[in-house]
Structure 1
């Protein structure tokens, strides 16, 4: 497909600056992207402080910041450090992981529809988790393992079905959409065959909730994100 340059149109320019690290490594910094990231981080911190202060025991933003710095009362320390801060961190870490996962899929498929939920990976993980809940009545570890296994098997299946002298983005997306529809039907079937308790647990798992999240969930998420997110960012150019 060819494009025609409009008369008088100016090409979009990206302002970049060269940055040299103490070790002699030269990097190019996109000024606009860096500014957007800083603004988003500032908004993220502000919203986190506001959300920590909301609840049955409301706290002013100043009190929240003082408590985070170790200057709060015993009650404030318990509410912030033990109850609300872990929930905020779990939400932020899960959101970051989902965002990076979506960006990786879009880069590989070169298609804005290339996200885990559209091409079936999310549905495959759900099948694995619901199988562990409904069929085997497994615990949290079994459900997590089932979700990982379901996602990996679904990914392998979609890759093999999309293979035809290589894997093209549009074929991966089209086959993934079809597989996602079939797996969605499987999920609905599993829920209809579950007991009331298992069905409630399955729906809660599918919907997701920050209720009851604590530091036991924060540390594994933080470890995974600390390894995989820099790895994905470091391979951003090859992925494209």
Structure 2
């Protein structure tokens, strides 16, 4: 596998009366055999959901499903009895395991803007589990670990060998992400503009909200916000 820049403008997309969606990897009617995921990552969708609308009840199994809320609200209900009300800055995790049905609805008038990311899980024999981390995408002092394979206070516990950091940065700041031997990295910009200085590359790469950077060979990347920006860093097995 090589290092790849995933341009937001090359994503698949869908438009309905209530949903605007962009797909980094093959999803729904967007089918590209060269875009089937990276390591544990299988789905990276950016959705804007109109007020009073949403996804009717549907089923999942196997996947770890993370929702990163940028603005608006989202109401989650599932067949295991879990009920969550998500707001801007929150991160939700559904470990679907043996299987769960759920619905996702925007209960407000204003649109909801979110990223939903699916990871291949490694505990298909376990019952579904629901977790919510409030305010995880709001301003922090450096990277914040929001999800990981180990049980830790204030961190969503994944059923996958993945660690995920969220960063909210301002112009003039800089954040470095290291990749350990036998691990891989993915940088997903949620909003704003950043310069990514990739180890070994002569010039920094400009990334905007929706852009992704897949890293397989380098061992360090530095990210410098050019505007107020938010991004997520994935440490992958």
TM-score (norm: length of structure 2): 0.20
Q: Which has the higher helix share?
A: 1
Larger relative strand fraction: 2
Structure of higher CA gyration radius: 1
